[in-house]
Amino acid sequence: MIITEVSKLQTICESLSSIEEGEEIGAQLLKELTETKSGIGLAANQIGINKRVCVVNVKEPMVLINPKIVEKSEEQFIFPEGCLSFPDKKIRTQRHVSIVVEADNHEGQLSFSADSDDINDAFECVCVQHEIDHLDGFTMFDRQYIVEPYRAPKSYGRNEKVTITDGDETKIMKYKKAQPLIESGAWELSEIQINV
C-alpha cells in the first residue's frame, strides 16, 4: 500500500542503528516495488515506515540504508519525473548531474552520473536523488522546474497608437502607419506604449 498523503510524505525519516533491520525493510520495499510494475524506486516512508531506507531498481536492485549525498555537482539538468505516491502527476524537475552517496550497507562511496550515453545512468542518478529526498521529507514538487510564463507579444489594433523609435527619434502614430516602418527594420516599437 503506497502512501499518497503529502503530510505523511513530509515526515523526516529516522536513521537506523541496525543494518539487519535496514535490510529487512529493504527487502520489503523491493517486494512492494516489484508489485508496482512501473516503479524504479521506493522510500520506506512511502509505505508508512519512517526509517532511512530506500531502494532503487534501474540496472539492478539496490538497497540504501541511512544514505546521504556527500557530494553533488553544481550543474543541474531538467528531467521528466513521476512518483508512485502521485500516480497521475508528471512534472519536470531540476536534478544534479552527478552525486556521490554513502550508505551504511555499502563500503566506500557510490557515484551516480547522468552524464553518460546510457539513459539508465540518468534514471538511476535521478532516482537516487528522488528517494533520498523522500527520506528527508521532500517530494518531487520541491524540485520542480518552473519556467517563467511565456508572454506572447502584444498584438495591436490598427488604430491603436504606438510609440516607435529609430534610436534617435521617437514618434507616436497609429499602428497601421507604424507597421510598415517597423517592417522596414529602421524603426522598432518602443517599450513605452500609449493608449489614447
Does 83 sit near Zn ion (CB under 5 A)?
yes
Stretch that binds Zn ion, among 49-57, 64-72, 83-91, 112-120 (CB under 5 A): 83-91
Taking a C-beta distance cutoff of 8 angstroms, is the pair 133, 142 a contact? yes
Decide if residue 29 touches Zn ion (CB under 5 A): no
Min. distance of Cβ 107 from Zn ion in angstroms?
Answer: 27
- For 127-188, the DSSP string reads HHHHHHHHHTT--GGGGB--PPPP-PPP---TT-EEEEE-SS-EEEEEHHHHHHHHHHTS-E
Catalytic residue among 32, 81, 124, 131: 131
Is position 131 annotated as part of the catalytic site?
Answer: yes
Question: Could you tell me the smallest distance in angstroms from the CB atom of residue 77 to Zn ion?
Answer: 18
Residue whose CB is less far from Zn ion, 83 or 128: 83
Dihedral sign, CA of 73, 74, 80, 81? Answer: positive
Name the residue with the smallest CB distance to Zn ion.
83
Closer residue to Zn ion, CB minimum distance, 48 or 157: 48
Nearer to Zn ion, 29 or 83 (CB): 83
Q: Pick the closest to residue 130 from 139, 119, 121, 117 (CA basis).
A: 139
Active site residues: 131
Residues that bind Zn ion (CB under 5 A): 83
